[in-house]
Amino acid sequence: MNKTIVIVGGGPAGLEAAAALGSSPHHVLILEKEHNTGGKLKNWHHLFPNFADASEILKSLEKSLPLNNSEIKYDCDVFKMEQMDGNLLVSLKSGEKIKADAVLLATGFDLFDAYKKEEYGHGIYKNVITSSELEGMFVNNSFPDQLKDGLPKKIAMVHCVGSRDKKAGNMHCSKLCCITGVKQAIELRKYLSKSSVYNFYMDLRMYGQHFEELYQEAQEDYGVNFIRGRVSEIAEISDGKLQVKAEDTLSGRPMKMIFDLVVLLIGMTPATSAASIAQSLALPKSGSGFLAPVHQHISANETCIPGLFLAGTCREPLSLQESITDARAAALKIIEWLKLKDNH
Amino acid sequence: MEQEGKKRIWSEYQKEIADDHYFYVRSCIRQTFFPGSETTFLKILRDDLSRDVFEDARHTTCTGIGYHTDIVPFETIMTIAARHFALMTEAGYVNFVPSCVTSFGIYTEILDTWKHFPEMEAKARDYLWTATRREFKIPDNLSHTSDIIYRFRNELAELSGHRLVNKNDGKPLKVVEHIGCHYAKMFPKCGVGGAEFPAVLSGMVEAWGGEVIDYPERRHCCGFGFRQYLIKANRGYSLSNSKKKFESMQPYQPDFIVANCPGCAMFLDRWQYTIAEMEGITYDKSGKGIPVLTYEELAGLIMGYDPWVMGMQMHQISVEPLLDKIGIVYNKKDKYLGSKGQYIGVPQPPHFLLQ
Ligand SMILES: Cc1cc2nc3c(=O)[nH]c(=O)nc-3n(C[C@H](O)[C@H](O)[C@H](O)COP(=O)(O)OP(=O)(O)OC[C@H]3O[C@@H](n4cnc5c(N)ncnc54)[C@H](O)[C@@H]3O)c2cc1C
Ligand code: SF4
C-alpha cells in the first residue's frame, strides 16, 4: 500500500531525501516555508572546497526530484505535529493539517545573528559584514563602491563568531566556518587583487577532504595571513575604516589593526522554525540545541517518535556533501520503517 | 554609523529606573574630586524636579576600592552592603541610588551573587545581625545617579536655559562620553543601553543638544583600574590608558568630555596635566586641554547653576572656554572664592597647559 511521506524543508537535505525516495512506491510531499526550494544553498556563490558553482549544484538537486511520486508545496510553514493512530498529523501555520505515515524533518539551521556580538558592531558599522552577506555580494556582484576603487584594501576575517562562545550561548563548533573563511579569503584575494586578507582564528578546523590543501593554498598562492587570536572588539574610525583589537596568541602580544572591511564568519545555530515542532512532540535536543537523534552513533537519523526522522543540518552542523549523504541515509531508514509498519 | 542598529541594541537594555523616593548614598571620593557634583544632583532632584531624596549620615564607604585591591574580602563588603540596605529599610525606602559607579558595580555584583547563591545572602544577613542586630530588605530598584539624570533628561531639557550648542557658530558641541567600566561592563543588563553602546550619557548629551563622538577607543578603560593607580609602580600603566584614549579622540576635536564615574572624571582631567608636564602635549587646538565634566555638573550648567558654586574651579582643565562656547555667564572674580565668600587661593599655573 502506498504511504504518504512528508518532508519538512526543501533545502539540500529535503530535496536529496525526496530524490532518494523516488524509487519507492510512496507519495512524497515536500513542505517548504519559503517561495522556493534550495535552503541556504541558494544564497551561496561558489562552494568549498572546490569552488563549484552553488547554483549549478542546486539545479542538479532540483532536477533529480522524481516527477512520478513527489510534490512540493511552497509557503507551507509547519509549526506543530502530533501522533495519531500510528501516524503523524502535520499542522501548517495556515491551519491546514496533513496526515503522514512518516515525516522527515529537514528544517536546516539558522545563521547566528551577528548583532548579538555587540562588540563587533554588525548592523552599526557599515563595513562590518557577515560571511553570508559576503556570499550575497559575490552572487549579485554588489560590492560597495569604496572597495572597488582599485586601491589596496585590508580585510579581516573573524572566525568563531557566535560559535565556541559561552557568552553568545553557543558552545558548539559550527565546523564549516573555518573552511568558509579560507575559501572566502581566497575569493577576496582574487576579486580585489591588491587586497591583503587576515584571518583571526582560535584554531583551524580543516576536517574535510581537501580542506587542509585549501588552507595551504590560501597561504602559499594567495598570501592570506592567519593570526591565531580572537578579536576582542571592533570600532569605526572617522573615514568608515575599522579598528580591530585582538591578541596574537603565538607572539603573545595584543594587536590593533585598521581594516577597510571586516567579515564575521557567523556560525550555524539550531533553526528556530523547528523549535515549535520539537516542542509539540517533546523531541529531545542535543546540548547545543540541535534536534537529537535516538542514538548519535547507530541511529543518527531516527528519533524517539515512531515515524519521525531527521536529515541534514537540523541535527548538527554539516557541509553540503554531508547533508546530502545524511539525507540518503534517512531515506533508507524511512523505507525500512514503512516496510516494518506494513508487516505489522 | 547606522543609528538604527544602535537603537536595536538600546531597546534591549532598557532598565527600570525608579521615578521618586530615593535612598541616596554618596561616594567617598567624589566630594574631594568634584566637590559640588553630589550637592548639584540633590538640588536638581529636590528643587527642580520636586523629588524626594533621603540621605542617612550613618552611611559609610562601600569599601569598593579596598575590595578591588584585594584588601577587603567579599564577605566583608557584602556585610557592609547589607548594612546600607538595612539603613534604607529602616528609613522606609526601596529605591537605592549610589552616586559612585564603583559602588553601583559592587551592589549589582552582590545582588546578582545573592540571586544565584542564596546561601551567600543568608551569610550576609547572619553577619549583619551578629555585628549590628540589623535586618534589611533587598531594594526594589537599584539605579546609579546617572540613570536618574538620564531618566529626567527630557524634563531637564525643557526646564533648562542652555543648550549644548556653540553660540559662535550654532553647531552642536562635540562631546566624548565616557562610561565607568563598572557601570555596565560586568552586568550589561544593569546599564541603560548595555555595555558596548551605552546610552546613559549619550542620551543626556543628545537630549540637551550636543553631538556624541564615537571614537575608536570609546569603550577603553580610563586607566584608573584601582591596582594600576594605587600601586605606585603601576601608574604608568594607568596613564598610558588615558593617553590612548586622548590620542584616539583628538582627531574629532571634542569640546568636552563627560563621565559618570568618579575615577574616570578625575583621571581624564588630571592626566591631561601630567601628560602636558611630561611631554608638552595637549589634546585640543588651543593648548588648554579638553574640559572634563561630571554629568551632574553638565546638568547643572544647562540648568543655569553657577559653575563656581558647583566646584568647577577644582578642575585641572579650565572650564571657561566651554562656558564661553555655551554662552554661560560667570563671574571671573568669584572663581577662587569659597562658599562663604572667603578667598581659597589660586593654584600654581602648570608649565604647559594654558589657563
Ligand atoms: C556561510 C556558509 C557558507 C557555506 N558554504 C558551504 C560550501 O561552500 N560548501 C558546503 O559544502 N557547505 C556550505 N555550507 C553548508 C550548507 O549551507 C549546508 O550544509 C546546507 O545548506 C544544509 O542543508 P539543509 O537542507 O540541512 O538546511 P538548509 O539549507 O537550512 O535548508 C532548510 C530548509 O528547510 C526550510 N524550513 C525550515 N523550517 C521549516 C518549517 N518549519 N516548515 C517548512 N520549511 C521549513 C527552510 O526554509 C529551508 O528551505 C555553508 C554554510 C554557511 C553558514
Ligand atoms: S569551524 Fe572554525 S570558525 Fe567555525 S566555530 Fe569551528 S573553529 Fe570556529
pLDDT digits (tens, 9 = 90+) for B43-72: 999 999 999 999 999 999 999 999 998 999
8-state DSSP, A8 = E
For CA atoms A235, A238, A242, A243, the dihedral sign is negative
Find which of B186, B202, B215 to mutate to test the A interface (most A CBs within 10 Å of its CB). Answer: B215
* C-alpha distances in Å from residue A189, one per residue of A27, A264, B8: 48, 17, 34
Same structural domain for residues A137 and A82?
Answer: no
| Closest chain B C-alpha to A278 CA, distance in angstroms | 27
The one-letter amino acid at B47:
D
Task: Report helix, strand or coil for B55.
Answer: coil
Count: domains in chain A: 2
pLDDT digits (tens, 9 = 90+) for B182-220: 999 999 999 999 999 999 999 999 999 999 999 999 999
Asked if pLDDT for residue A1 goes beyond 70, the answer is no
Q: Which residues of B touch A (CB under 8 A)?
A: 1-2, 4-6, 8-9, 194-197, 214-219, 251-252
Domains (range + CATH), chain B: 17-145 (1.20.1050.140), 153-334 (3.40.50.11810)
Contact B218 A235 (CB under 8 A): yes
Q: Which residue has the higher pLDDT, B148 or B237?
A: B148
Domain boundary residue, one of A247, A267, A287: A267
Look-up: residue for cell 593554498? A217
Same structural domain for residues A121 and A243?
Answer: yes
* C-alpha distances in Å from residue A6, one per residue of A90, A110, A220, B96: 8, 21, 48, 58
Of B51, B149, B141, B57, nearest to B99 by C-alpha is B149
Q: What is the pLDDT of residue A233?
A: 95
Same structural domain for residues A153 and A250?
Answer: yes
Ligand 1 centroid – CA A317 distance (Å): 9
Same structural domain for residues A119 and A254?
Answer: yes
Same structural domain for residues A121 and A100?
Answer: no
Its domain, for residue A137, covers 114-267
pTM of the model: 0.91
Q: The complex's ipTM?
A: 0.83
Same structural domain for residues A163 and A299?
Answer: no
Same structural domain for residues A58 and A138?
Answer: no
Asked if pLDDT for residue B307 goes beyond 60, the answer is yes
What chain A residue is nearest to B252 in terms of C-alpha separation?
Answer: A238
Contact B219 A233 (CB under 8 A): yes
Q: What is the pLDDT of residue B118?
A: 98
A177 CA: nearest ligand 2 atom: 4
Supply the mean pLDDT for chain B.
95
* C-alpha distances in Å from residue A10, one per residue of A40, A73, A279, B8, B74: 10, 9, 21, 32, 56
Decide if B136 contacts B98 (C-beta within 8 A). no
Domain boundary residue, one of A208, A232, A267: A267
Same structural domain for residues A38 and A168?
Answer: no
Give the mean model confidence (pLDDT) for residues A59-88: 94
Look-up: residue for cell 531525501? A17
Q: What is the pLDDT of residue B211?
A: 97
Q: Probe ligand 2: pick from A265, A316, A318, max atoms within 8 Å of CB?
A: A265
Same structural domain for residues A184 and A310?
Answer: no
pLDDT digits (tens, 9 = 90+) for B119-132: 999 999 999 999 99
Contact A119 B196 (CB under 8 A): yes
Give the mean model confidence (pLDDT) for residues A195-210: 96
Domain boundary residue, one of A267, A290, A311: A267
Supply the mean pLDDT for chain A.
95
pLDDT band per the 50, 70, 90 thresholds, residue B300: very high
Ligand 2 centroid – CA A165 distance (Å): 10
CATH number of the domain to which A51 belongs: 3.50.50.60
Burial of B16 (0-12, 13-18, 19+ CB in 10 A): exposed
Same structural domain for residues A279 and A311?
Answer: yes
The one-letter amino acid at B100:
C
A311 CA: nearest ligand 1 atom: 26
Contact B2 A118 (CB under 8 A): no
H or E stretch at A160: strand A154-161
Q: How far apart are CA A108 and CA A22, in angstroms?
A: 21
pLDDT digits (tens, 9 = 90+) for A275-308: 999 999 999 999 899 999 999 899 999 999 999 9
pLDDT band per the 50, 70, 90 thresholds, residue B319: very high
Same structural domain for residues A137 and A120?
Answer: yes
Give the mean model confidence (pLDDT) for residues A4-20: 98
Burial of A126 (0-12, 13-18, 19+ CB in 10 A): middle
Same structural domain for residues A133 and A246?
Answer: yes
